[in-house]
Structure 1
Amino acid sequence: MTAPPTPRPVPGAAVEAGRRARAAPVPAVDSCTVLSASDVTARKLVRADDPYMEGHYPDVTIYPGAFLLESVYQAVLHLVWETRGTGSFAVPARIDSVRFLAAFGPGDVLDIRCACTPSGPDGLDVTAECRKGETRAAKVSMSFRIVPAADQEVTDA
């Protein structure tokens, strides 16, 4: 029996190991595990002191939906770097659907599993299931273009 892959820390947001990445608002995943060329899992502990949590909902602090999408994106980016090399970059092309079914609060663990399907020579269609323990918390379908890292413009603040 083969041991499961060990989760690896996710690369830093701006520059890591000589590769140029986009500026990310914050690390939206704590670890990623590439299971195959088409499957990746990611995990994020939602922390009360993360800068985006304060005031998101004044009386009920929850992990913002935009950051859940960012978590999926960072998992896909990690898969692309692991399977195609750091000379490739994933650029979000479109969001087909997002369904939020449960909220994440401080102390909750967001577990993501992304199934990725090639679409043409430079595309990737992704279906992500997000869980909170045994509860299905969100489902995301989105598409990405894969481009050389040098062609990636860093546009985030």
Structure 2
Amino acid sequence: MSTTLQAGDILSRLPHRHPMVLLDRVEDLNYGKSATGIKNITISDPVLQGHFPNNPVYPGVYMIEASAQLCGLLLGSPAGEDGPVLGYLASVRKFKFVTPVHPGDVLNIQARAGVSHANLADFSVDIKVSGKIVASGSLALARIDPDPST
């Protein structure tokens, strides 16, 4: 069964807050398997003020971070009873950026879970704009169990 998460649902499941929560919506979330995240790129994104003046290009590192947040949601549970997911980006491999992303673009981030080893989970990611791949690669997240005493 797939799940859709709106902004409030995302905030309840990730520890990130403004300005670092980067997903606007999550569609087709199949915990532990795959998900599609949506990120709307707008001229009001603070990072675009300086990247680059008169030629705004959305930074690749932000695309990787948005992808990592989506992968972090895949580590969670359907009811979200575990609270915020504490998955730290552990590795970025073979990430390629094919086409620049500009204000007005909508990132369609597709993440698929791969092999997991102990507390390390691998994911493959494709990022598309209007159905065309703009970036792709592999990420690994380390799941950190929250300290129950805090």
Range into which the TM-score falls when normalised by the shorter chain:
0.7 to 0.9
Q: C-alpha deviations, 1:70-110, integer Å up to 9, x for none?
A: 11011112222235833652111111121000111111000
CA-based RMSD: 2.5
Relative to structure 1, the CA distance from residue 150 to residue 140 in structure 2 (aligned partners, 3 Å threshold; closer, same or farther) is farther
Q: One-letter code of the match for 1:8? A: Q
Q: Where in structure 2 are there 5+ consecutive unaligned residues?
A: none
From 111, 134, 138, the equivalent of 1:137 is 134
- For residues 104-135 of structure 1, the C-alpha deviation after alignment (integer angstroms, 9 at most, x for no partner) is 11110000000112321211101100000121
Aligned pairs for 1:23-62 within 5 A: 25-33=19-27, 34-62=29-57
- Would you say how many aligned residue pairs link Structure 1 and Structure 2? 144
1:106 aligns to 2:103 (yes or no): yes
Normalised TM-score (structure 1): 0.79
Classify 1:123/1:52 alpha carbon distance in 2 versus 1 (closer, same or farther; 3 Å). same
Identical columns (%): 20
Distance in structure 2 (CA, Å) of the matches to 1:52 and 1:130 = 19
What TM-score, normalized to structure 2?
0.82
Give the gaps of 5 or more residues in structure 1. 152-157
Match of 1:76 among 63, 71, 95: 71
Alpha-carbon distance between aligned partners in 2 of 1:57 and 1:90, rounded to the nearest angstrom? 31
Q: Which moved more, 1:104-113 or 1:50-59?
A: 50-59
The residue that corresponds to 1:96 in the other structure is: 93
